[in-house]
Structures are given as C-alpha cells and as structure tokens.
C-alpha cells in the first residue's frame, strides 16, 4: 500500500553546528494534534539502542544521504509499542553519531521521517553546518565507544562500563571542543557508576543545559534526581517540565514508578546491580 500524508506532526530540534564524529544530538518529537485520531502500537524509540524509528535524510545540492532507521513493518513477536491519543506527544533525544553517518563537511538540510505503516510523518527541513574533526579526537572517541571490550562502537558501551575511565585515562588527550561535546555522556557515566546515590549526585551538572537539542534530556534527568531526593516542590517542577516539553510525560511516569533511566541503569550496571 502506498504511503499517505500523516495527521501526526514530527518536529526536530537541532544545533546549528555539529562536528562529525562527535556526539550529534537531535531532539525528536512526534505529536498527535488531531481532535479524534488515535494511533496504536507505534515503534518504541530507545536512544541507547540504534537504529531508531526516525529516519534522517541530509540534503546538499544534488547529494542526499539517508541514515539507517528501524522499521516495524516485518517485525514479529516484538514488544508492544506506544500509543498516541489526541493531544499527546512523545519526545526523544537521539544521537546520530551512533549511526556513523557518512557525511562531508558543509551546509546541509536535514529532514526527519517517522517510520510507520501507511503514513509518513515528516518534519520540516532544518539547516545545519557540519565540520570535520581532528583525527586524534576521532581515534580517542572511538576507543571510548568500544569500552568494555565491545565488538561494535557505541556510546552505550561507555555508559555501561564501570572501569573505562580507569582503563583508558585519555580524556586529557581530547581537544577542548571534543571534551565539551562529551560532557553529556560523562554525566551519564558518572551518575550510573559514581559511589554516591542519585540523592547526592550533583544536579548542577545537568542544569547547565538550558537550550539546545540535549536540554530536554538534561531536564528529564534533573527531574529524576529531584524525585530521588523527594523535594517538596516536585509537583511544580513536573508542571514546569511538561509545560516546556509535553512529550516527556511518559518519562515522568516512568520516573514516578521507579523506572527512570538513571535508576534502571544503576540497577543494571552500577553500584546497585544484583551480583550473581
């Protein structure tokens, strides 16, 4: 069956500049802004398990590069996806560097498409400038992404490996630009493996991210830390978070049921994991 235009709305939030090979964060929001249409079993998006159900295409003059995406059209026995009722949205922050895009430096137009049956929710094009990275930075970043003896490179390996920074004391070898780009993953790694509990983890590491494509993720993790501390004004903080990012309501519910991202990663890979 041919694709038709979608009643769902897809929006991208991107930085104006990226360095190829560095973390490449994009905020993706899928919204149901209809009054009566209901969507069921849409593909889940796990930012730590690429590819994603959002397909990204980069255009420059005559060139077009489309990055790999996950499709559910032939999936069998898959876990149930998520539903979008009228007025609901879901936001995700994905890292396109995990897809190892073969892009050249220069100015590009990026357009997103949510992969689903029969409909084609597409975003408006976003202009971005891509820059080349120093080869020394790329080599060090790749080693960090291969942490724990992994067979394929991914920032998930770096987050999950408890001893990577002890085994690979090379952060001082990164340029200042690469070190700044790596900060979100350093925060996640420390939050997962640090000796202090989430009730004591310094939230100011996250509060510095007020704008840009990683801001919604930083705000969600900040809320998880506040939830762990049982702060008194938590309802106000939740309202403020969802006022700015309504598509994070599902993440808030996960946090309130004890299944926030940091909580689950610490249970699986951090100090709170169950020993065999």
**Domain identity same for 106 and 205:** no
Residue with tokens 């409909």: 119
Q: Does the predicted model carry a pTM greater than 0.75?
A: yes
Q: Helix crossing, 234-244 with 249-256: angle to 10°?
A: 150
Beta bridge partners of 90: 30
Domain boundary residue, one of 131, 159, 193: 131
Sheet strands side by side (includes 17-19): 17-19, 126-131, 106-114, 54-60, 63-66
**Domain identity same for 107 and 213:** no
**Domain identity same for 179 and 70:** no
Domain boundary residue, one of 131, 147, 169: 131
**Domain identity same for 141 and 241:** yes
**Domain identity same for 139 and 246:** yes
pLDDT given at position 58 = 98
Total structural domains within the chain: 2
**Domain identity same for 160 and 258:** yes
**Domain identity same for 13 and 107:** yes
In a domain, 105, yes or no: yes
In a domain, 275, yes or no: no
In a domain, 16, yes or no: yes
**Domain identity same for 22 and 101:** yes
Mean pLDDT in runs of 10 for the chain (276 residues)?
70 98 98 95 95 98 95 61 96 98 98 92 98 96 91 95 74 90 96 92 92 98 96 95 98 98 95 66
The two three-digit tokens of residue 198, written as one number: 């989430």
What is the 3 state secondary structure string of the chain? CCCEECCEEEEEEECCEEECCCCCEEEEEEEECCCCCCEEEECCCCCCCCCCCEEEEEEECCEEEECCCCCCCCCCCCCCCEEECCCCEEEEEEEHHHHCCCCCCEEEEEEEEECCCCEECECCCEEEEEECCCHHHHHHHHHHHCHHHCCCCCHHHHHHCCCHHHHCCCHHHCCHHHHHHHHHHHHHHHHHHCCCCCCCCCCHHHHCCCCCCCHHHHHHHHHHHHHHHCCCCHHHHHHHHHHHCHHHHHHHHHHHCCCCHHHHHHHHHCCCCCCC
pLDDT given at position 148 = 86
**Domain identity same for 177 and 225:** yes
Domain boundary residue, one of 115, 131, 147: 131
**Domain identity same for 12 and 93:** yes
In a domain, 274, yes or no: no
Annotate 105-114 with b (16+ C-beta within 10 A) or e (fewer). Answer: eeebebbbbb
* Boundaries of domain holding 254: 135-269
**Domain identity same for 86 and 212:** no
Beta bridge partners of 17: 129
In a domain, 276, yes or no: no
In a domain, 239, yes or no: yes
In a domain, 26, yes or no: yes
Domain CATH code at residue 86 = 2.60.40.2970
**Domain identity same for 142 and 124:** no
């Amino acid at each position: 069956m041919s694709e038709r235009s979608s009643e769902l709305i897809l929006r991208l939030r991107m930085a104006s500049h990226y360095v190829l090979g560095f973390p490449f964060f994009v905020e993706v929001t899928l919204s149901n802004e209809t009054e009566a249409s209901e969507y069921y079993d849409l593909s889940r998006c796990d930012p730590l398990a690429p590819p994603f159900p959002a397909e990204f295409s980069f255009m420059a003059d005559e060139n077009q590069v489309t990055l790999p995406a996950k499709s559910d059209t032939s999936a069998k026995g898959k876990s149930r996806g998520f539903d979008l009722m009228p007025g609901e949205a879901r936001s995700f922050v994905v890292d396109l560097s995990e897809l190892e895009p073969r892009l050249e430096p220069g100015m590009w137009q990026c357009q997103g498409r949510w992969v689903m049956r029969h409909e084609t929710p597409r975003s408006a094009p976003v202009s971005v400038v891509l820059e080349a990275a120093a080869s020394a930075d790329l080599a060090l970043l790749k080693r960090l992404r291969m942490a724990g003896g992994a067979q394929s490179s991914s920032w998930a390996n770096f987050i999950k490996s408890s001893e990577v920074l002890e085994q690979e004391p090379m952060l001082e070898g990164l340029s200042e630009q690469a070190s700044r780009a790596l900060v979100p993953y350093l925060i996640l790694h420390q939050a997962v493996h640090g000796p202090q509990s989430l009730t004591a983890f310094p939230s100011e590491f996250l509060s510095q991210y007020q704008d840009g494509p990683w801001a919604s993720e930083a705000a969600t993790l900040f809320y998880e830390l506040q939830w762990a501390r049982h702060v008194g004004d938590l309802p106000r903080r939740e309202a403020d978070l969802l006022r700015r990012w309504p598509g994070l309501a599902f993440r808030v519910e996960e946090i309130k049921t004890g299944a926030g991202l940091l909580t689950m990663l610490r249970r699986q890979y951090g100090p709170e994991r169950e020993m065999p």
